[in-house]
Amino acid sequence: MNFRPGWRRWIQAVLQPEPSPALESALSHHRDTLPVLWLLGKTGSGKSSLIQRLTGDTRAEIGNGFEPCTQSAVLYDHPQDAPVMRFLDTRGLGEARYDPAADLAAASGGSHALLILTRVDDPAQEDVLSALRALHSSDQELAILHVHTALHTLGPSELTRAIDFNTGQIATALHGAPPTVAVDFTDPDDGFDDPDVGLGELREAIIELVPDLSLVLSRIDGRDREESLYLAQRREIIGYASAAAAVDLVPAVGLVAVPSLQGKMLHALAGRYDITWDRRIATEFLAALGSGFLYRYVLSLGSRQLMKFIPVYGQSAGAAAAASISFASTYALGRAACLYLYRRKHHQALDPETLRAAFIEAFAEQKRP
C-alpha cells in the first residue's frame, strides 16, 4: 500500500519515459532560449578547434551533430542530447562567392556573444572586417571577444606586432576595442608543452561575457576517479536539469514530462558507464535511494519548502525556472546515478547513506551565497 499521491505515476514515467509531441515542442522551445556563441572567422582560423577544446567533443571536427542554419552556417548543440549551450559556426568566410548577409542576419539575431577569430599569421582579414562593419552599422547589441589563434606560428619578435595589428583592425571596424585573448590549440603530437595554450583564459573571458555559462564552462577537477567521471557527465546532467526546469513551466506538457526527462537522463548516463539501463537496475537504484527520500526531494510538492537550497541556473532559463525544484532534483538524481553506476561497474558496494549523501550534496551545491 502506498499513500503517496503521484508516486506510481512518477515511477512509471521514470522507468518508461514516453515520447510526447508536447514535450518535444517544449524542449525545442527550450533549445531556442539557450546561450549561443557565434564564431566568426575565416576558414582555417580555428573555429572548429575552439569548439572542440571548449566542449571536449570531437564531433566538432568531424562535423556530426551540426544542424544547418543558413546555407553556410551551422548550429552545434552541446552536449548534443541535452544541450546547455549552442555554437553558431559561420563557415566559408574568406572563401570565394561567400555572401555573409544571411549568416549575419541569423547570427546577430539569436546570439548571446560573438567570438571573432583571427590567426596571428594572417593579417588579411578584409572579409571579417567587412562583416563587422555591417554588424556595427546594424546597431546590434552583442557581447564581443576577439580571439587571436595559432600563436606558435610566429616567433616572439613578430608575434607582438602581429597581435597588435589584428587587434587594431578589429577595433577600427567595430569602433571600439573588444577584450582579447590569445590561444594556441595544437595537436598533442606536435610536441608543444601545452597543447591548449590560453584555454583557461578563454573560458574565463567567455564567462565574463555570458555569465550564464559559468555553471557549464567552469573547470572543476575531480577528487578521485569516480568524481572525475561524474564531472565528465555533468554538462549533460545540467542539460537535462535545465530542460526539466523549463518544461516544468509548461502546464500543457503534464506531470510526466519531468520524470520522463529524468528517466531519459538515467538511461543516457548508464550508457556512459557501459551499463544497460533496464527496469531491474532502475528499480534497484531508486530503491537504494528509498521511496521516502525520493518523495521528499524529487516528487513531493512539499519539497518546494526546500527552496532555499535550490540552485540558480543563470538568467536565461528565466527566474521561475531557476527557482524550480525540478532543476535541483534532476541534477541531484544525475549525480547520485553516476555514483551508483560507477560502483556497480566496478563491483563495489554502496550503502544507501552514501548514495543519499551524494544526492543531497549535489542538491545543495549550487546554492547561492
Instruction: Give the footprint of ligand GDP on this chain (CB under 6 A).
Output: 41, 43-49, 149-150, 152-153, 183-186
Q: How far is the CB of 191 from ligand GDP (least distance, A)?
A: 12
Identify residues 265-284 at the interface with Mg ion (CB under 5 A): none
Identify residues 34-93 at the interface with Mg ion (CB under 5 A): 47-48
Rank residues 126 and 284 by Cβ distance to ligand GDP and give the closer one.
Answer: 126
Look at residue 184 and give the partner it binds from ligand GDP, Mg ion, none, a contact being a CB closer than 5 to 8 Å depending on partner kind. Answer: ligand GDP
The answer to the question of residue 233 lying near Mg ion (CB under 5 A) is no
Q: What angle is formed at CA 360 by the lines to CA 301 and CA 17, rounded to 5 degrees?
A: 55
The residues, any chain, with a CB within 8 Å of residue 148's CB and separated by 6 or more, are 118, 119, 120, 163, 166, 167, 180, 181, 182, 183
Rank residues 48 and 70 by Cβ distance to Mg ion and give the closer one.
Answer: 48
Residue 288 carries which side chain, given as an amino acid letter? A
Q: What DSSP string describes 105-168?
A: HHHHHH-SEEEEEEETT----HHHHHHHHHHHHTT---EEEEEEE-GGGS-HHHHHHHHHHHHH
Q: How far is the CB of 93 from ligand GDP (least distance, A)?
A: 8
Q: How far is the CB of 149 from ligand GDP (least distance, A)?
A: 4
Distance CA 163, CA 158 (A): 9
Distance CA 177, CA 11 (A): 55
Rank residues 66 and 309 by Cβ distance to ligand GDP and give the closer one.
Answer: 66
Give the x-and-dash track for 110-149 against Mg ion (CB under 5 A).
----------------------------------------
Q: How far is the CB of 85 from Mg ion (least distance, A)?
A: 18
Q: Rounded to 10 degrees, what is the CA torsion of 206, 210, 211, 212? A: -120
Rank residues 44 and 318 by Cβ distance to ligand GDP and give the closer one.
Answer: 44
Rank residues 47 and 264 by Cβ distance to Mg ion and give the closer one.
Answer: 47
Cα-trace Rg, the chain? 23
Rank residues 186 and 366 by Cβ distance to ligand GDP and give the closer one.
Answer: 186
Interacting residues with Mg ion (CB under 5 A): 47-48
